[in-house]
Amino acid sequence: MGALEEIEAIKQLKARYFRLLDTQQWDEFGDVFTEDATLAASPSPGETFRGRQEIVQRVSAALRGATTVHHGHMPEISLTGEDTATGIWAMYDFVDLPQLVLHGFGHYHEDYAKQRGAWRIRRSRLTRLRLDITRK
Protein backbone atom coordinates (compact mmCIF):
# COMPACT_ATOMS: atom_id res chain seq x y z
CA MET A 1 0.00 0.00 0.00
CA GLY A 2 1.16 3.51 -0.75
CA ALA A 3 1.12 6.41 1.71
CA LEU A 4 -2.24 7.77 0.53
CA GLU A 5 -3.88 4.35 0.88
CA GLU A 6 -2.47 3.98 4.42
CA ILE A 7 -3.76 7.43 5.37
CA GLU A 8 -7.19 6.57 3.93
CA ALA A 9 -7.22 3.35 5.97
CA ILE A 10 -6.59 5.41 9.14
CA LYS A 11 -9.43 7.77 8.18
CA GLN A 12 -11.70 4.73 7.78
CA LEU A 13 -10.58 3.49 11.22
CA LYS A 14 -11.56 6.79 12.85
CA ALA A 15 -14.90 6.81 11.01
CA ARG A 16 -15.58 3.32 12.44
CA TYR A 17 -14.60 4.58 15.91
CA PHE A 18 -17.25 7.33 15.75
CA ARG A 19 -19.97 5.13 14.21
CA LEU A 20 -19.47 2.21 16.60
CA LEU A 21 -19.33 4.57 19.58
CA ASP A 22 -22.57 6.31 18.61
CA THR A 23 -24.38 3.07 17.78
CA GLN A 24 -23.04 1.45 20.96
CA GLN A 25 -21.65 -1.63 19.20
CA TRP A 26 -19.21 -2.30 22.03
CA ASP A 27 -17.57 -5.54 20.82
CA GLU A 28 -16.74 -4.00 17.46
CA PHE A 29 -15.78 -0.70 19.13
CA GLY A 30 -13.11 -2.51 21.12
CA ASP A 31 -11.55 -3.82 17.93
CA VAL A 32 -10.54 -0.32 16.79
CA PHE A 33 -7.96 -0.26 19.64
CA THR A 34 -4.72 -2.13 20.23
CA GLU A 35 -4.75 -4.41 23.28
CA ASP A 36 -2.51 -1.93 25.15
CA ALA A 37 -4.31 1.23 24.03
CA THR A 38 -4.93 4.26 26.22
CA LEU A 39 -7.90 6.61 25.95
CA ALA A 40 -8.10 9.99 27.69
CA ALA A 41 -11.40 11.43 26.44
CA SER A 42 -13.45 11.89 29.59
CA PRO A 43 -14.71 15.34 30.58
CA SER A 44 -13.03 14.56 33.93
CA PRO A 45 -9.47 15.95 33.69
CA GLY A 46 -6.69 13.40 34.01
CA GLU A 47 -8.91 10.33 33.65
CA THR A 48 -7.25 7.75 31.39
CA PHE A 49 -8.52 4.29 30.49
CA ARG A 50 -5.82 1.69 29.91
CA GLY A 51 -6.18 -1.36 27.69
CA ARG A 52 -8.87 -2.35 25.22
CA GLN A 53 -10.99 -4.12 27.82
CA GLU A 54 -11.04 -1.20 30.28
CA ILE A 55 -11.76 1.27 27.46
CA VAL A 56 -14.84 -0.68 26.36
CA GLN A 57 -16.06 -1.27 29.94
CA ARG A 58 -15.68 2.35 31.06
CA VAL A 59 -16.98 4.02 27.89
CA SER A 60 -20.00 1.71 27.63
CA ALA A 61 -20.84 2.28 31.31
CA ALA A 62 -20.48 6.07 30.99
CA LEU A 63 -22.76 6.18 27.94
CA ARG A 64 -25.42 3.74 29.16
CA GLY A 65 -28.79 5.36 28.43
CA ALA A 66 -27.21 8.12 26.34
CA THR A 67 -27.72 9.29 22.81
CA THR A 68 -24.45 10.48 21.29
CA VAL A 69 -23.28 12.09 18.07
CA HIS A 70 -19.54 12.41 17.40
CA HIS A 71 -18.02 14.13 14.39
CA GLY A 72 -14.35 14.16 13.40
CA HIS A 73 -13.08 16.70 10.89
CA MET A 74 -9.94 17.88 9.09
CA PRO A 75 -7.55 15.02 9.90
CA GLU A 76 -3.82 15.73 10.00
CA ILE A 77 -2.26 12.27 9.62
CA SER A 78 1.47 11.56 9.44
CA LEU A 79 2.98 8.17 8.76
CA THR A 80 5.89 7.82 11.20
CA GLY A 81 7.01 4.33 10.21
CA GLU A 82 5.91 1.32 8.23
CA ASP A 83 3.39 0.35 10.93
CA THR A 84 3.00 3.58 12.94
CA ALA A 85 1.30 6.93 12.44
CA THR A 86 0.02 9.97 14.31
CA GLY A 87 -3.08 12.04 13.79
CA ILE A 88 -4.94 15.09 15.00
CA TRP A 89 -8.68 15.43 14.38
CA ALA A 90 -10.90 18.43 15.05
CA MET A 91 -14.00 17.11 16.79
CA TYR A 92 -17.51 17.91 17.98
CA ASP A 93 -19.51 15.72 20.34
CA PHE A 94 -23.10 15.80 21.53
CA VAL A 95 -23.93 13.60 24.51
CA ASP A 96 -27.50 13.43 25.80
CA LEU A 97 -27.52 11.65 29.17
CA PRO A 98 -30.50 11.31 31.53
CA GLN A 99 -29.05 13.99 33.85
CA LEU A 100 -27.36 16.37 31.40
CA VAL A 101 -26.61 17.33 27.81
CA LEU A 102 -23.03 17.95 26.73
CA HIS A 103 -21.76 19.80 23.66
CA GLY A 104 -17.98 19.55 23.24
CA PHE A 105 -15.44 20.98 20.83
CA GLY A 106 -11.75 20.15 20.58
CA HIS A 107 -9.15 17.84 19.09
CA TYR A 108 -8.25 14.17 19.27
CA HIS A 109 -4.46 13.58 19.35
CA GLU A 110 -3.72 9.99 18.40
CA ASP A 111 -1.06 7.37 17.75
CA TYR A 112 -1.86 4.44 15.47
CA ALA A 113 -0.30 1.02 15.00
CA LYS A 114 -0.78 -1.39 12.13
CA GLN A 115 -1.24 -4.92 13.48
CA ARG A 116 -1.91 -8.01 11.40
CA GLY A 117 -2.58 -5.79 8.40
CA ALA A 118 -5.12 -3.48 10.11
CA TRP A 119 -4.67 -0.01 11.62
CA ARG A 120 -5.73 0.42 15.25
CA ILE A 121 -5.68 3.27 17.74
CA ARG A 122 -2.84 2.89 20.24
CA ARG A 123 -3.24 6.19 22.09
CA SER A 124 -6.06 8.73 21.99
CA ARG A 125 -6.19 11.96 23.99
CA LEU A 126 -9.00 14.46 23.65
CA THR A 127 -8.21 18.10 24.36
CA ARG A 128 -11.28 20.27 24.67
CA LEU A 129 -11.47 23.88 23.57
CA ARG A 130 -15.01 24.31 24.83
CA LEU A 131 -17.48 22.22 26.80
CA ASP A 132 -21.09 23.31 27.27
CA ILE A 133 -23.10 21.32 29.84
CA THR A 134 -26.80 21.79 30.49
CA ARG A 135 -28.34 20.06 33.51
CA LYS A 136 -31.80 18.57 33.04
Q: Where are the alpha helices (DSSP H) in the chain?
A: 3-22, 26-30, 52-62
Enter the pTM of the model.
0.94
Domain that holds residue 96: 3-135
- The tens-digit pLDDT sequence of the chain (136 residues) is 899 999 999 999 999 999 999 999 999 999 999 999 999 987 777 899 999 999 999 999 999 999 999 999 999 999 999 999 999 999 999 999 999 999 999 999 999 999 999 999 999 999 999 999 999 9
CATH of residue 128's domain is 3.10.450.50
Return the bridge partners of 6, or none.
none
Number of compact structural domains in the chain = 1
Q: What is the DSSP letter of 48?
A: -
CA distance readout (Å), 20 to 8, 11, 66: 18, 14, 14
Would you say the C-alpha torsion 112, 115, 120, 124 has a positive or negative sign? negative
At 42 the pLDDT is 77
